[in-house]
Amino acid sequence: MGVRVLIVGAGTRGDVAPYTGLGARLREAGHEVAVAAHQPYADLVTGAGLEHLPLPGDPLAALTGRFSVRAYAEYGGRLMDGLAGLAEQEADLLLLGVAGAPGRHVAEAMGVPSMGVHLQPIEPTGDFPPVMSLFRRSLGRWGNRRAARLWFESPLLAGANTKLRARLGLPPMSPRDLYRRREDTRWPVFHGVSPLVLPRPADWRPGLEVTGYWWPFRSRAWQPDPVLRDFLSSGPAPVFVGFGSLAGARAERYTELAVRALRRAGLRGVLQTGPRGPLSDDVLAVGDVPHDWLFPRMAAVAHHCGSGTTGSGVRAGVPAVAVPVMNDQPLWASRLAALGVAPAAIPFRRLTSARLAAALSTAAGDPAYERRARALAAQVSVEDGAAPVVEAVNRLGLGWCGDR
């Protein structure tokens, strides 16, 4: 028996795209699926045949050059308004991304179960520093776990949870009690990343699973721009350079940096840094192109190491150049280097055309990186990350109650 599933995919494009593939799999299994996401990503959702529920606010204003404490607070407030409004929707189950985690209170108010569908591993572990903090180096096993636990009880989250619970008419709970209930009930969290890229930490409690990637939906009717096809066929395989949504505020600067790096390295390039069209005979700037189509045609991919882009690069079997910016991105950069499919990462704040050129030359020119990338891709390609989530939702349809 099918159920109505509401996926809360707050965040930027990379936070929404994986849920289109997961949602499509749930729909194929007989469930009705809606995805709550910000308006700029509505087409991603509806293009996958899923219902879009708009969330107010613009996350890019809080993350790019327009960032300020006030902008972040305004975005957070509007997001909480949007989450509270979801309580008026019909749903049998809420699936919550990291940014949509306060949706647990919405599910409680609706009287329905919820589960986590995370693209970032925020659960406390000694294996690596907490990804949603300012820490970049390990604090030791105890310190890593403690710092991650403190994030769950941070004043920012505590204030948002308190206000949302009050608005939903729920009794107040302290951050410590909320966390304890989350752990005592073994609230289920599925992580949409390959266990080959991120092995499941041995110190995680039961209910925290690493399933494999959730690949973004791509319509069979999609066709690449003829200009892109012609460029790819006109010479050696180019390299890809893109820095995700965060580069949008300074697109001209990063485009110039990338072009200088490509010229210095003597490489052809496909850029996804802002403008569109041919920048020279050897450099083409593109807009949104599905990474599962584009990346396998590249000699290497340089990117910001968002979870979804990292997964697409791994799936393509091509070497990477990691240019992490924030949050979970340094973790994925370190994993790519540890797996031998990327040279040492270049932190975004230290990015120069010379450093990028050297890293691209190494990644595209050393056949050892390509061999390891192809071997990893062959293993990842047989994983089915959506299957455990679909199975859990199917159990709900058969009468499974989950955590309420």
Question: In which band, very low, low, confident or very high, does the pLDDT at 244 lie, cut at 50, 70 and 90?
Answer: confident
Question: In which band, very low, low, confident or very high, does the pLDDT at 62 lie, cut at 50, 70 and 90?
Answer: low
Task: Answer yes or no: do 370 and 393 share one domain.
Answer: no
Query: What mean pLDDT, rounded, does the chain reach?
Result: 90
Q: Is residue 176 part of a domain?
A: yes
Q: Is residue 303 part of a domain?
A: yes
Whole-Å CA distances, 31 to 5, 109, 389: 7, 22, 12
Task: Answer yes or no: do 391 and 245 share one domain.
Answer: no
pTM: 0.92
Task: Answer yes or no: do 112 and 190 share one domain.
Answer: yes
Per-state percent for the chain, helix, strand, coil, to nearest 5: 45, 15, 40
Task: Answer yes or no: do 19 and 89 share one domain.
Answer: yes
**pLDDT tens string 322-358:** 999 888 999 999 999 999 999 999 998 899 999 999 9
Task: Answer yes or no: do 254 and 376 share one domain.
Answer: yes
**Cross-sheet strand order for the sheet of 4-8:** 51-55, 32-38, 4-8, 93-96, 114-118, 189-191, 208-210
Tell whether the model's pLDDT for residue 269 goes beyond 80. Answer: yes
The average pLDDT across 367-382 equals 97
Task: Answer yes or no: do 198 and 238 share one domain.
Answer: no
Task: Answer yes or no: do 230 and 202 share one domain.
Answer: no
Task: Answer yes or no: do 105 and 252 share one domain.
Answer: no
Share of the chain above pLDDT 70, in %: 94
Q: 291 with 317: CB under 8 angstroms?
A: no
Number of domains in the chain: 2
The average pLDDT across 51-77 equals 75
Most trustworthy range by pLDDT among 186-200, 235-249, 279-293 = 186-200
Whole-Å CA distances, 151 to 121, 135, 172, 283, 353: 13, 11, 19, 43, 35
Q: What is the DSSP string of 227-248?
A: HHHHHHHTSS--EEEE--GGGG
Q: Is residue 129 part of a domain?
A: no
**pLDDT tens string 185-219:** 999 999 999 999 999 999 999 999 999 999 999 98
Tell whether the model's pLDDT for residue 153 goes beyond 90. Answer: no
Q: Is residue 148 part of a domain?
A: no
Q: Is residue 137 part of a domain?
A: no
Question: In which band, very low, low, confident or very high, does the pLDDT at 49 lie, cut at 50, 70 and 90?
Answer: very high
Report the pLDDT value the prediction gives residue 399, as an integer from 0 to 100.
62
Report the pLDDT value the prediction gives residue 150, as an integer from 0 to 100.
85
The average pLDDT across 33-58 equals 93
Whole-Å CA distances, 360 to 49, 233, 301: 38, 21, 8
Report the pLDDT value the prediction gives residue 249, as an integer from 0 to 100.
59
Q: Is residue 141 part of a domain?
A: no
Question: In which band, very low, low, confident or very high, does the pLDDT at 61 lie, cut at 50, 70 and 90?
Answer: low
Report the pLDDT value the prediction gives residue 404, as an integer from 0 to 100.
40
Task: Answer yes or no: do 65 and 175 share one domain.
Answer: yes
Task: Answer yes or no: do 244 and 376 share one domain.
Answer: yes
The average pLDDT across 70-85 equals 84
Report the pLDDT value the prediction gives residue 403, as an integer from 0 to 100.
43
Lowest mean pLDDT among 51-60, 180-189, 307-316, 328-337: 51-60
Report the pLDDT value the prediction gives residue 78, as an integer from 0 to 100.
87
Report the pLDDT value the prediction gives residue 92, as an integer from 0 to 100.
95
Q: 149 with 93: CB under 8 angstroms?
A: no
Checking DSSP bridges between strand 277-280 and strand 283-285, what pairing results, if any? antiparallel
Q: Is residue 32 part of a domain?
A: yes
Task: Answer yes or no: do 253 and 361 share one domain.
Answer: yes
Q: Which domain holds residue 157?
A: 4-119+153-214+385-397
**Close Cβ partners of 325 (under 8 Å, ≥ 6 residues apart):** 243, 244, 246, 304, 305, 348
Q: 335 with 361: CB under 8 angstroms?
A: no
**pLDDT tens string 161-183:** 889 999 999 999 988 899 999 99
Q: Is residue 133 part of a domain?
A: no
Task: Answer yes or no: do 373 and 250 share one domain.
Answer: yes
Tell whether the model's pLDDT for residue 136 goes beyond 80. Answer: no
Question: In which band, very low, low, confident or very high, does the pLDDT at 64 lie, cut at 50, 70 and 90?
Answer: low
Find the CATH number of the domain harbouring 370. 3.40.50.2000
